[in-house]
Amino acid sequence: MKTDKGVAGLTILLTLVTFLFVIGLLVTIFTLMGGELRDATYTSTTSTATNETVTGAINSTGTSAVTYSSLRNAVISVIAVYNDSTLVESANYTVNTSTGSLTNATAVVWDGTINVTYSYTYDGDNTATDTMNDTVTGLATTSDWFTIFIVIGAMVVLILLTVIIITAIRGSGLMAGESGA
């Protein structure tokens, strides 16, 4: 008969740790896969903004970014720029296609009201990306439960240790029955 002295509850604790490690590994794999699936399913969308007013002058520091430059993977393509009502030739400014800001390419500073007409292409959400966002978020929050599993596992191990200690004390004869005198 094999007895493991001094390892009461260790098997359960090791099983719990292994169980949490495997769950954590699976959650990580599925979260990474879900993120890749989400990125692969965006819908490329193109639209146009007409006469959008931007703040700042077309100078060496540039104007503020156009509104739709903050969309996911936005690419801005300027069609026309007006300083007040005067058309600014495209050779006179440069466009940062990812931020949508205009910077002066000449010595002239245009400091009136700057209106920009531009087209923009971006990656838009759709049903598939919404579903994957929900799934990835749901999977990522499962690790919040790990601490609860650890506490419950530790409680089970402590209860087992208590039962084993009480059984050992009773079996040793230290708790002899009381004699009535």
What does the pLDDT read at residue 119? 92
What does the pLDDT read at residue 49? 92
What does the pLDDT read at residue 121? 92
What does the pLDDT read at residue 150? 79
What does the pLDDT read at residue 177? 58
What parts of the chain have a pLDDT lower than 50? none
What does the pLDDT read at residue 120? 92
What does the pLDDT read at residue 2? 62
The per-residue DSSP string of the chain comes to: ----TT-TTHHHHHHHHHHHHHHHHHHHHHHHHHHHHHHHTPEEEEEEEEEEEE-S-BSSS--PPPGGGGSTT-EEEEEEEEETTEEEPGGGEEE-TTT--EEE-SS--B-S-EEEEEEEEEEE--HHHHHHHHHHHHHHGGGGGHHHHHHHHHHHHHHHHHHHHHHHHHHHTTTPPPPP-
What does the pLDDT read at residue 148? 84
What does the pLDDT read at residue 105? 85
What does the pLDDT read at residue 80? 92
